[in-house]
Chain A
Amino acid sequence: MKIKNVLALGLVATMAVAAFVGCGDKGKDSAGADGKGKVYYLNFKPEADEAWQEIAKQYTDETGVEVSVITAASGKYEETLASEITKDEAPTLFQVNGPVGLANWKDYCYDLKDSSLYKELTSDSFALYDDDAVAGIAYVIESYGIIVNTELLDKAGYKLEDIASFDDLKKVAEDITARKDELGFAAFTSAGMDGSSDWRFKTHLANLPIYFEYQDKKIDSTDAIEGKYLDNYKNIWDLYINNATCKPADLAGKTGDDAENEFASGEAVFYQNGSWEYKNLTDKGMKDDQLAMIPIYIGAGDEANQGLCTGTENYWCVNAEASEEDIQATIDFLTWMVTSDAGTKMLADNIGVIPFKKAADTTNLFVLNDRKYTEDGKTPVSWNFTTMPSEEWKNGVGSALTAYAAGTGKWDDVVKAFVDGWASEYKAANN
């Protein structure tokens, strides 16, 4: 009997142990090999994951400092960060998307003012400040505008130079729509309002009326938007939806891939997107001489001198809660990334233009377009959507835009979501 008891006890104990094994088998060597510290980067850009993994490995081979890169699933960055950062092995390097994102994470941002990384920046304006502290450092400058298939534009009988204002754009687009059957293509790709595509309009396109209002008032953020240029916003939105590859009522279900495929297969001339799209389009077989990016004209401001929308919403932040060695290792890694040949080349090829002194040159056509516009003395439109009060505000505008396009809602609802929504969301975010 006694032996049986012991046996039973032993079995139960084994079961219990087995049940919990695997919970705690993470490496105990958290101090890092020989006190060098280590780097854990929570990456935001899934499309660059592979490149980051490679460069991390190369850095580890060269310096012996362990660098791990984990990429959050698309659209899940904030949640992933919120859970990762409470772990014992928290990310030492993460990113925020501008002042609104920073407000949430500023307690975790290490002041980079005295870091070697900050000194590599080409301009102070690429740093994200929390009062006097340098909380974040921009690592990529991107541009967006209207991508044009110049070959099709040519077929329709127009040249890039013909489009220098909203009126020109409208004339060309409506002419193409009128001859749609004869030409065999539409003016615009579908302005899809599915979650994979709606940011192009509720965030990027909405930047323009905000930008021009900020310019008029000489401000760079506000607690209440007036909506002075919303009529222009309506005009460009009307132009997009009424001259597209599909009926406005179908836009609610169209995705980002739909628009990309339509453009790449020559079904439309114009496609609003950014420099990050260059690789996707060339991968799909488009050539440089077929492509160009032009500014989004909405009939506001000085159109003759308007450039592409250029800015950033990606800032590197170093986790202030990490150990001293890890912080130093992270800063060293980033400095290496923006100064060494291998690092700058990887960033130029996979991420885009980086605002650092030793940046490698890029082959991204849209970035070169942007450079040309700036050289010609045009003023780039800055990215003010980082000051939008919240995601909720964007979603409200997006829903209203979708309903307006489908005819189930009125433009007044868009105005209401834009203006009233801004005030109430700003209040909710800052109480």
Chain B
Amino acid sequence: MEKAIRRYWPIFVLPTLAAFCIGFIYPFVQGLYLSFCKFTTIKKATFNGIDNYAYAIQDSGFWHSFWFTALFTVVSTVLINVIAFAIALALTSKIKGSNVFRTVFFMPNLIGGIVLGYIWQILLNCALSLLQKPLLALNATYGFIGLIILMCWQQIGYMMIIYIAGLQSIPDDYIEAAKIDGATNRQVLFRIKIPNVMPSITICTFLTITNGFKLFDQNLALTGGEPAHASEMLALDIYNTFYSRTGPQWKGYGQAKAVIFCIMVIIISMIQLKFTKSREVQQ
């Protein structure tokens, strides 16, 4: 059997590989090519060199979205992970009904981003209106806070599940031994639990960082980029450049922005992976 697998591996790989090529590699390469073109429809593209990139780089809206997104990513990554970890700790400490809580915390994740965005828009606008404050669409700061609240609410449950799994896989012996040696709860947390859940932390920070950077649905539904693009994140900026502008040049600009965006996300998540991976310990 071993030998057969070794001999016929291409056949086993083929279906997935073909799907990957058709669904990912081909569109990606074509997208890369189109980022150097001016086009209305992808069949009628004319090559125009690096004009698109030149435009994308000097577009102030693009850089505004970049910084807005970066700030959002940092804040949401920290908040989501800290809160999710805290809840995971609480729910692994054998309190009553912890299964019910786990289910409840996980549930927001089952609702789609667009739906959540609109629900939270109504909720937050209602609250702001009662407080006599300008609505979400009028104030980018509220828009930002709204997005953070929404993302925390949605993602904490998911990250919590990953942390719970990580915490449960720590052998009880470690904690018991530490306690016998006289370690305080604080020491157990920082010296035993956190180093041992580093793989979960790697995964969770990776997920929250990339989710933060790629955020689209929630941004579109909650603020729509209002006021005047001030709460527009990178993905929405690209979408708006590509779709809401009329004229062949815009498609190319959007495409170039998308390529830059893709490279940025890859670089940032690579750095993060390297950083957290180096702190993982072997059990």
Contacts and interface: CB of A to CB of B under 8 A. Distances in A.
A125 interface: no
A364 to B, nearest CB: 30
Q: Which of B43, B224, B247 has the most CB atoms of chain A within a 10 A radius of its CB?
A: B247
Contacts of B224: 195
B8 A5 contact: yes
Interface string B22-65: 00000000000000000011111000000000000000000000
Contact of B11 (A9, A100, A400): A9
Given A12-B12, A103-B246, A431-B249, A253 B228 contact: no
Contact of A193 (B122, B137, B245): B137
A63 interface: no
Contact of B44 (A107, A399, A406, A407): A107
A12 B4 CA distance: 14
Contacts of B249: 431
B76 to A, nearest CB: 24
Contacts of B226: 252, 399, 402
Contact of B40 (A107, A249, A395, A402): A107
Contacts of A392: 244-245
Contact of A250 (B14, B129, B228): B129
B27 to A, nearest CB: 13
B41 A85 contact: yes
B37 to A, nearest CB: 14
Contact of B4 (A5, A104, A428): A5
A311 interface: no
B139 interface: yes
B139 A15 contact: no
B112 interface: no
B171 interface: no
Interface residues of A, number: 44
Interface in B129-169: 129, 132, 134-139
Contacts of A74: none
Contact of A253 (B14, B125, B246): B125
B257 to A, nearest CB: 15
B134 A78 contact: no
A54 to B, nearest CB: 31
Interface string A83-120: 00110000000000000110111010000000000000
Interface string A395-428: 1100110110011110000000100000000001
Contacts of B137: 193, 252-253, 402
Q: Which of B132, B224, B228 has the most CB atoms of chain A within a 10 A radius of its CB?
A: B228
B41 A406 contact: no
17 contacts: A12-B11, A12-B12, A78-B243, A82-B41, A86-B42, A100-B246, A104-B248, A193-B137, A250-B135, A252-B137, A253-B125, A391-B245, A392-B245, A396-B228, A402-B226, A406-B134, A409-B227
Given A19-B18, A252-B134, A253-B122, 7 more contacts: A9-B11, A19-B19, A107-B44, A252-B138, A253-B135, A392-B244, A407-B134
Interface of A: 1, 4-5, 8-9, 12, 15-16, 19-20, 78-79, 82, 85-86, 100-101, 103-105, 107, 193, 195, 249-250, 252-253, 390-392, 395-396, 399-400, 402-403, 406-409, 417, 428-429, 431
The 3 closest A-B pairs by CB, nearest first: A399-B228, A252-B137, A252-B135
